[in-house]
Structure 1
Amino acid sequence: MPGNETTHPLLQRFHEGDPAALGELSDRFSPALMGFAGRLLHEPFLAGDIVQDVYIKLWQRKGEYDSIEGIRKFLFVATRNACINQNEKYRLRQGQPPSSEDADPDEAMRKLILSEYLGLIYQIVAAMPDKLQQVFYLSFEEGLSPEDIAQQLDIPRQTIKNRKVEVYKALREGLKHYKVAMPILLKMLFPH
């Protein structure tokens, strides 16, 4: 964000306890957080509860942030941690042993890095036009092929391909400052 974020009007209103400021933050970050949580959880239907709890924690700590970026980081880290905790509870309910991620630091680091990038990706997608978001979610979340998406949306297959190219470009642009192997990440996100 241009300028000094510590004087950002939204941040100032949030610090002062304005509930509308929390609503604006929610409007800005919730779509990305919901997608992010849904991808991390064994029980994706709990994403809304997780995100709501994270906003409650954010509100309780409203004076601790010096930038909108600091709030964004808190939201994604807190969401990731809450999803990890929820997944552990799920494993225990299923009679499975606790996660062995702690025993394999390389696997734990890989998952941590992937979750960080997923958070960034969902934030980039949330800023895209609805028609691109729709293609992203149907392809990435639902795993549909371009043909299936075209049939479901009743639009030409080539339109879907063109929109996927636009999604790729937006993701590349949004992630260009991060050191990541984009072709590998995009192939993982869009197998079709």
Structure 2
Amino acid sequence: MVPSNIIPELNQGNQKALRTIYKLYGRQLLFLANQLIKNKQASEEIVNDVYLKVWDLRDKFETTNKLKAFLYIATKNSCYNFIKKANNKVSFEDVEDQFNLICKDHGVLEKIIRAELFGRILEEVAKLPEKQKEVFCLTYLEENSVEEICHKLGINANSVYVIKSRALSSLRKALKMYDSDYIFPTIITIQYFLNSLNK
């Protein structure tokens, strides 16, 4: 949930507001950057630089939607600059035009949607009943086998399948605004993303 006072606080130069914004969107932006450039260290640097840009422009943002658009656009542009070794910069005034261009670039738009879904999945996983959360994380985030999960949790294989099915069903219901075809592939993508962070 985005705090209602986050934009006024940011406008006034409150660094705590910037930290809150980082917690809200940082993982999604890192996910997006990693999807675009496949480079963990560069992705982290890009996202950090984007937040420095937000701080420099802190008095320009009027709504959370404009802030969010800027975050994604700046991340996308920085990734393209990294790939092309260019030095183009995104300015606050470019945001609306840039966003319209992104919407026409289906490849980038799909990655942004998946980045959003990535953040939403992690939020909803945290809300699952404890056993469902454990089985989901052990299965999809830590890539344990059913046998390994049985051993760790002291349950049988049938219970693992039932609990996993219930967890996925809960996530699908919570994320019904998204195309169901995105959900499972994005969970798989999260596995590779988290694995890359551990390398």
Structure 1 length-normalised TM: 0.64
Whether contact under 8 Å (1:32, 1:122) holds in the other structure is yes
What is the aligned counterpart of 2:80 among 75, 78, 84?
84
Cα separation, 1, equivalents of 2:59 and 2:134: 33
Aligned-pair CA distance for 1:78? 1.7
Cα separation, 1, equivalents of 2:22 and 2:78: 17
Would you say 1:189 and 2:155 are equivalent positions?
no
Cα separation, 2, equivalents of 1:121 and 1:39: 13
Q: Give the paired residue count.
A: 163
Would you say 1:39 and 2:35 are equivalent positions?
yes
Match of 1:97 in 2: none
Match of 2:167 in 1: 166
User: CA deviation digits over 1:113-148, x for unaligned, max 9?
Assistant: 2112112112213423187499469737x7x47538
Q: Secondary structure at the match of 1:150?
A: helix
Cα separation, 2, equivalents of 1:40 and 1:55: 18
Would you say 1:139 and 2:140 are equivalent positions?
yes
Greater CA deviation, 158-167 or 41-50? 158-167
Aligned-pair CA distance for 1:170? 3.2
What is the aligned counterpart of 2:107 among 91, 94, 111?
111
Unaligned 5+ segments in structure 1 are: 90-107
- CA-atom RMSD in angstroms: 3.7
Match of 2:121 in 1: 125
Q: AA paired with 2:65?
A: E
Unaligned 5+ segments in structure 2 are: 86-103, 189-199
Whether contact under 8 Å (1:65, 1:71) holds in the other structure is yes
Structure 2 length-normalised TM: 0.62
Aligned-pair CA distance for 1:60? 1.2
Mapping of residues 152-163 of structure 1, within 5 Å: 154-155=152-153, 158-159=159-160, 162-163=163-164
What is the aligned counterpart of 1:56 among 52, 56, 59?
52
Aligned-pair CA distance for 1:149? 7.4
Aligned-pair CA distance for 1:15? 0.3
Cα separation, 1, equivalents of 2:5 and 2:109: 32
What is the aligned counterpart of 2:61 among 45, 61, 65?
65
Would you say 1:150 and 2:146 are equivalent positions?
no
What is the aligned counterpart of 2:15 among 11, 14, 19?
19
- With over 3 angstroms needed to count, the CA separation of the structure-2 counterparts of 1:146 and 1:137, relative to structure 1, is closer
- With over 3 angstroms needed to count, the CA separation of the structure-2 counterparts of 1:123 and 1:43, relative to structure 1, is same
Whether contact under 8 Å (1:139, 1:146) holds in the other structure is no
- With over 3 angstroms needed to count, the CA separation of the structure-2 counterparts of 1:72 and 1:146, relative to structure 1, is farther
Cα separation, 1, equivalents of 2:69 and 2:8: 18
Aligned-pair CA distance for 1:83? 2.1
Cα separation, 2, equivalents of 1:77 and 1:110: 14
